């Protein structure tokens, strides 16, 4: 059960070693897939595969709670979010991997990758970083794993836990504020005279509306309309608000 | 480590065999009951609509779903030319596998002794059992999403995006109600949750937690399974057949199978969480049989209620669905969670919290009303898109 040194791997039972091998292969293949797949959706699915492999490794280490949370949070929420973005923004086509988006991107990425690798090796093999080995053995003492984790989170690590949750709530509130469409509060000069624009515009409910407004390829026009609107902030809330403003603002002129 | 007593004395050949037999029996039982569920649903709905329903294949048409399955099996397997081939083939399996796996953690009976081994009548009893249900329901989202996206067509994509938003929203409610059950039962293991409700029916969680968490769970699980009245995934008027429009033959059969299997497993999970699972009065004749019968009976009642709901209620509109989820059920379950936690600490704390929450809810409601009135007074009536909601 105890990871770390190769010597310990030899002492593991055969089912343990087999499980580890299979899960490790799943993890590595998935990770390679994330990097090498051309299609963003395939890359995201490879990420799911890696996360599953890691969940299996957690179960193998008797950390069932972590395994479940890993799948619920990362697979069930975060990668689903990735896929949402990929599908809604319509970037689900093959990308040209040869093109460098940022200059010097590859060199920096290589350097950072090597740094992370060195860090992992240092944490696993030496003890001068934190004063103790990162993995010292299985959890001991009475009580289940879940109970111990719960006790630790709500006693010794209560403040970090609460601060993290407050941070997340703040982030959500911030996202909602930023994403809010100002359509209701702004004074609409052309409100009475908006002929013909209505049926074509999305009704603003749900993904259908979002996607339809994505398909209006007038980012420049929308920004222009926002500027003409006297700084009502329409240009910073994304294409949804901007694109919808367009017909009403343009037609009267 | 607590856990499955089967593994307490090492893993030998007998243990491995017992596990395999348990898995196979659960698999077959679930398949057969899914077949019966399709028939049951069609028959009950036709009864409610004053029709006869399937009555050709076998006695009372009970073999109709077998006939339908055979037909689907032999139909041509179509692959749309614009489909993303790999993902298109993968999606049906992503739908079926979680539907099967959820059932693995549901306790269907008591504990029996086979060849000196203590065997719990459920496929697996992991320490995080109930979280496993949430894990599987979060994976089921992928099936819908990938099926819709990989079809390479507009309607399935819109249906899938809509469905995954719906499923993720209602997962939050399911999670919160499950947390209440965990608080009351002091464990994540499904076996321990069932045991904590044993002996008297007033110890069932549905009563111990107040009725509200159960009602929330039931509505949310109906939405999670995309069953009527929440079946916007396949809103025919708007989306053709929804996310599985482009599927045919065996792949479609897999989605169909997963849908009905989910009905059964979610009913079984509801029974486990709130109605004591296999708990019920036993008799001295065949001891091990009674809990199983109780479990099957309770689950059947839940399946019947699902069918009843389908027959009785019209489909919601999408904004109503989201309003119900985010503006009503999530706040209610959060508030109820606080009250449950308060009551567990002490009863007076519980009542104090309840009062505070009621006052807070009324204040927020009044503030929202005031805000809306001010806005309406300050502005001329807003027309056009974005005027509501």
Please answer whether residues B61 and B43 qualify as being in contact, where contact means their C-beta atoms are separated by less than 8 angstroms: yes
* pLDDT of res. A97: 57
Kindly indicate the confidence band of residue A218, based on its pLDDT and cuts at 50, 70 and 90: very low
Q: Which residues contact B238 (CB under 8 A, 6 or more apart)?
A: none
> What's the rounded Cα separation, in Å, for the pair B53 and B307?
14
Interface pTM (ipTM) of the complex?
Answer: 0.81
B161 vs B178, more confident: B178
Give the closest of B322, B385, B389 to A201, CB-based: B385
User: Looking at chain A, which residue has its C-alpha nearest residue B143?
Assistant: A80
Kindly indicate the confidence band of residue B23, based on its pLDDT and cuts at 50, 70 and 90: very high
Phi and psi, residue B240, nearest 5°: 65, -125
**Mind listing the pLDDT tens digit for each residue in B199-212?**
777 888 888 888 99
* pLDDT of res. A229: 38
Q: Which of A146-155, B30-39, B237-246, B265-274 has the lowest mean pLDDT?
A: B237-246
Give the closest of A187, A194, A208 to B158, CB-based: A208
Residue A74 confidence (pLDDT) above 80? yes
Q: Which of A36-50, B21-35, B105-119, B168-182 has the lowest mean pLDDT?
A: B105-119
Q: Does A118 touch chain B (CB under 8 A)?
A: no
Which residues on neighbouring strands pair with residue B119, listed in sequence order? Answer: B112
Q: How many CB atoms lie within 10 A of CB B22?
A: 19
Q: Which residues contact B385 (CB under 8 A, 6 or more apart)?
A: A183, A198, A201, A202, A203, A204, A244
Please answer whether residues B37 and B260 qualify as being in contact, where contact means their C-beta atoms are separated by less than 8 angstroms: yes
Average pLDDT (A111-138) is 78
User: Looking at chain A, which residue has its C-alpha nearest residue B319?
Assistant: A205
Q: Of all residues in chain A, what percent carry a pLDDT higher than 90?
A: 23
CA distance A121 to chain B (A): 31
Kindly indicate the confidence band of residue B15, based on its pLDDT and cuts at 50, 70 and 90: confident
**Mind listing the pLDDT tens digit for each residue in B245-302?**
888 888 989 998 998 999 999 999 999 999 988 888 877 777 788 889 999 999 999 9
Q: Does B192 touch chain A (CB under 8 A)?
A: no
SS3 A105: helix
Q: Which residues of chain A make contact with B165, given a CB cutoff of 8 A?
A: 206-207
DSSP letter assigned to residue A101: S
The first and second tokens of residue A168, run together, are 């997340």
Residues 314-343 of B with CB under 8 A from A: 318-319, 322
Q: How many CB atoms lie within 10 A of CB A162?
A: 11
Residue B230 confidence (pLDDT) above 70? yes
Q: Which residues contact B58 (CB under 8 A, 6 or more apart)?
A: B64, B66
Q: Does B165 touch chain A (CB under 8 A)?
A: yes
User: Looking at chain A, which residue has its C-alpha nearest residue B136?
Assistant: A72
Q: Does A84 touch chain B (CB under 8 A)?
A: yes
Average pLDDT (B334-363) is 86
CA distance A110 to chain B (A): 31
* pLDDT of res. A136: 60
A225 vs B355, more confident: B355
CA distance B345 to chain A (A): 15
Average pLDDT (A49-66) is 89
C-alpha triplet A14, A19, A24: angle, nearest 5°: 125
Average pLDDT (A235-244) is 38
Average pLDDT (A8-25) is 80
Q: Which of A152-156, A193-197, B129-133, B271-275 has the lowest mean pLDDT?
A: A193-197
SS3 A205: coil
> What's the rounded Cα separation, in Å, for the pair A133 and A128?
9
| Cross-chain Cβ contact B188/A146 below 8 Å | yes
DSSP letter assigned to residue A95: -
| Cross-chain Cβ contact A204/B385 below 8 Å | yes
Kindly indicate the confidence band of residue A201, based on its pLDDT and cuts at 50, 70 and 90: very low
**Mind listing the pLDDT tens digit for each residue in B108-133?**
888 888 777 788 888 888 888 899 99
Average pLDDT (A199-222) is 40
* B111-114 and B117-120 beta bridge pairing: antiparallel
Q: Which of A173-187, B71-85, B96-110 has the lowest mean pLDDT?
A: A173-187
* pLDDT of res. A51: 94
Average pLDDT (B123-152) is 88
| Cross-chain Cβ contact A67/B171 below 8 Å | no
| Cross-chain Cβ contact B386/A80 below 8 Å | no
Which residues on neighbouring strands pair with residue B113, listed in sequence order? Answer: B118
Kindly indicate the confidence band of residue A11, based on its pLDDT and cuts at 50, 70 and 90: low
Residue B83 confidence (pLDDT) above 90? no
Give the up-direction half-sphere exposure of residue A86: CA atoms within 13 A in the CB hemisphere. 21
User: Looking at chain B, which residue has its C-alpha nearest residue A180?
Assistant: B386
> What's the rounded Cα separation, in Å, for the pair B16 and A110?
47
Kindly indicate the confidence band of residue B25, based on its pLDDT and cuts at 50, 70 and 90: very high
Q: Does B379 touch chain A (CB under 8 A)?
A: yes
> What's the rounded Cα separation, in Å, for the pair B120 and B197?
17
Selection from A27, A106, A146 nearest residue B182 by Cα: A146
Q: Which residues of chain A make contact with B142, given a CB cutoff of 8 A?
A: 48, 75, 80
* pLDDT of res. A102: 72
Q: Does B372 touch chain A (CB under 8 A)?
A: no
* pLDDT of res. A247: 39
Residue A227 confidence (pLDDT) above 70? no
User: Looking at chain A, which residue has its C-alpha nearest residue B378?
Assistant: A185
Please answer whether residues B312 and B324 qualify as being in contact, where contact means their C-beta atoms are separated by less than 8 angstroms: no
Q: Of all residues in chain B, what percent carry a pLDDT higher than 90?
A: 30
CA distance A141 to chain B (A): 9
> What's the rounded Cα separation, in Å, for the pair B51 and B54?
9
Residue A194 confidence (pLDDT) above 60? no
C-alpha dihedral (B80, B82, B86, B88), degrees to nearest 10:
-50
Residues 287-316 of B with CB under 8 A from A: none
Domains of chain B, residue spans: 5-316
* pLDDT of res. B318: 84
> What's the rounded Cα separation, in Å, for the pair A203 and A76?
29
* pLDDT of res. B288: 82
SS3 A28: helix
Selection from B235, B22, B88 nearest residue A208 by Cα: B235
The first and second tokens of residue B294, run together, are 């109780």
Average pLDDT (B236-249) is 77
| Cross-chain Cβ contact B87/A205 below 8 Å | no
Give the up-direction half-sphere exposure of residue A194: CA atoms within 13 A in the CB hemisphere. 20
Residue A27 confidence (pLDDT) above 70? yes
Q: How many CB atoms lie within 10 A of CB B216?
A: 22
CA distance B72 to chain A (A): 29
Q: Which of A42-56, B220-234, B296-310 has the lowest mean pLDDT?
A: B220-234
Residue B22 confidence (pLDDT) above 70? yes
Mutation to test the B interface, candidates A14, A202, A207, A238, most B Cβ within 10 Å: A207
Mutation to test the B interface, candidates A14, A33, A62, A87, most B Cβ within 10 Å: A87
* pTM of this structure: 0.79
* pLDDT of res. A217: 39
What are the start-end ranges of the H helices in chain A?
6-11, 14-36, 40-60, 64-69, 79-89, 105-125, 145-154, 158-179, 197-200, 206-214, 219-228, 239-250
* pLDDT of res. B91: 92
Average pLDDT (A26-31) is 95
Q: 3-state SS string over chain B?
A: CCCCHHHCCCCCHHHHHHHHHHHHHHHHHHHHHHHHHHHHHHHHHHHHCCCCCCCCCCHHHCCHHHHHHHHHHHCCCCCCCCCCHHHHHHHHHHHHHHHHHHHHHCCCCCEEEECCEEEECCCCCCCCHHHHHHHHHHHHHHHHHHHHHHCCCHHHHHHHHHHHHHHHHHHHHHHHHHHHHHHHHCCCCHHHHHHCCCCCHHHCHHHHCCHHHHHHHHHHHHHHCCCCCCCHHHCHHHHCCHHHCCCCHHHHHHHHHHHHHHHHHHHHHHHHHHCCCCCCCCCCCCCCHHHHHHHHHHHHHHHHHHHHHHHHCCCCCHHHHHHHHHHHHHHHHHHHHHHHHHHHHCHHHHHHHHHHHHHHHHHHHHHHHHHHHHHHHHCCCCCCCCCCC
A90 vs B202, more confident: B202
Q: How many CB atoms lie within 10 A of CB B183?
A: 14
A124 vs A197, more confident: A124
Average pLDDT (B14-28) is 90
Residue A29 confidence (pLDDT) above 90? yes
Residue A174 confidence (pLDDT) above 70? yes
> What's the rounded Cα separation, in Å, for the pair B100 and B97?
5
* pLDDT of res. A226: 37
**Mind listing the pLDDT tens digit for each residue in B66-79?**
888 889 888 888 88
C-alpha distances in angstroms, B289 versus B110, B111, B121, B283?
Answer: 9, 11, 11, 9
> What's the rounded Cα separation, in Å, for the pair B294 and B198?
13
Give the closest of A144, A188, A208 to B1, CB-based: A144
> What's the rounded Cα separation, in Å, for the pair B148 and B167?
14
CA distance A79 to chain B (A): 10
End-to-end CA distance of chain B: 51
The first and second tokens of residue A64, run together, are 């069932």
Residue A224 confidence (pLDDT) above 60? no
The first and second tokens of residue B124, run together, are 């697996």
B86 vs A253, more confident: B86
* pLDDT of res. A184: 56
Radius of gyration of chain A, Cα coordinates, nearest whole angstrom: 26
Selection from B61, B143, B47, B51 nearest residue B99 by Cα: B143
């Amino acid at each position: 059960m105890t990871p770390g040194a190769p010597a310990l791997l030899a002492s593991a039972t055969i089912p343990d070693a087999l499980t580890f091998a299979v899960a490790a292969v799943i993890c590595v293949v998935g990770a390679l897939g994330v990097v090498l797949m051309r299609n963003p959706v395939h890359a995201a699915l490879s990420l799911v595969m890696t996360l599953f492999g890691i969940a299996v490794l957690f179960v193998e280490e008797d950390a069932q709670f972590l395994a479940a949370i890993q799948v619920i949070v990362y697979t069930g929420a975060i990668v689903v979010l990735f896929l949402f973005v990929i599908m809604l923004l319509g970037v689900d086509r093959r990308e040209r991997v040869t093109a460098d988006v940022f200059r010097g991107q590859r060199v920096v990425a290589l350097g950072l990758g090597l740094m992370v690798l060195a860090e992992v090796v240092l944490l696993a093999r030496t003890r001068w970083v934190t004063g103790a080995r990162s993995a010292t053995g299985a959890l001991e003492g009475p009580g289940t794993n879940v109970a111990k984790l719960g006790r630790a989170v709500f006693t010794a690590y209560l403040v970090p836990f609460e601060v993290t949750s407050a941070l997340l709530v703040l982030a959500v509130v911030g996202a909602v504020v930023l994403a809010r469409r100002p359509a209701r509060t702004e004074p609409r000069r052309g409100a009475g005279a908006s002929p013909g624009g209505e049926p074509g515009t999305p009704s603003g409910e749900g993904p259908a509306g979002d996607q339809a407004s994505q398909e209006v390829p007038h980012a420049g026009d929308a920004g222009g309309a926002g500027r003409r609107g006297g700084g009502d902030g329409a240009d910073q809330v994304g294409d949804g608000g901007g694109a919808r403003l367009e017909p009403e603002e343009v037609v009267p002129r | 480590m607590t856990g499955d007593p089967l593994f307490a004395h090492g893993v030998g050949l007998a243990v491995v065999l017992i596990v395999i037999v348990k898995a196979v029996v659960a698999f077959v039982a679930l398949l057969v009951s899914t077949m019966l569920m399709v028939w049951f649903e069609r028959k009950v709905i036709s009864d409610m609509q004053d029709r006869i329903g399937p009555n050709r294949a076998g006695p009372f048409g009970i073999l109709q779903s077998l006939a339908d399955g055979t037909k689907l099996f032999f139909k041509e397997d179509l692959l749309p030319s614009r489909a993303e081939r790999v993902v298109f083939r993968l999606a049906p399996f992503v739908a079926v596998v979680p539907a099967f796996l959820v059932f693995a953690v549901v306790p269907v009976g008591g504990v029996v002794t086979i060849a000196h081994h203590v065997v719990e009548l459920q496929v697996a009893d992991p320490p995080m059992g109930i979280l496993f249900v949430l894990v599987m329901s979060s994976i089921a989202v992928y099936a819908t999403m990938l099926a819709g996206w990989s079809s390479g067509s507009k309607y399935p994509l819109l249906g899938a995006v809509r469905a995954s938003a719906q499923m993720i929203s209602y997962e939050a409610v399911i999670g919160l109600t499950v947390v209440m059950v965990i608080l009351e039962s002091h464990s994540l293991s499904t076996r321990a949750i069932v045991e904590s409700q044993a002996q008297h029916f007033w110890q069932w969680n549905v009563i111990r937690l107040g009725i509200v968490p159960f009602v929330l769970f039931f509505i949310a699980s109906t939405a999670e399974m995309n069953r009527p009245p929440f079946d916007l995934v396949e809103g025919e008027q708007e989306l053709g057949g929804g996310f599985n429009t482009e599927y045919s033959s065996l792949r479609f059969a897999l989605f169909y199978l997963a849908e009905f299997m989910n009905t059964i497993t979610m009913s079984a999970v509801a029974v486990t969480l709130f109605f004591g699972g296999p708990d019920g009065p036993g008799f001295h004749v065949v001891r091990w049989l009674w809990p199983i019968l109780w479990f099957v009976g309770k689950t059947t009642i839940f399946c019947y209620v699902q069918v009843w709901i389908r027959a009785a209620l019209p489909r919601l509109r999408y904004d109503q669905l989201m309003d119900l989820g985010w503006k009503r059920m999530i706040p209610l379950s959060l508030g109820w969670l606080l009250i449950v936690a308060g009551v567990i600490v002490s009863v007076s704390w519980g009542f104090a919290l309840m009062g505070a929450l009621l006052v807070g809810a009324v204040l927020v409601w009044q503030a929202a009303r005031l805000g809306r009135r001010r806005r309406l007074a300050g502005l001329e009536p807003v027309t056009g898109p974005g005027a509501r909601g």
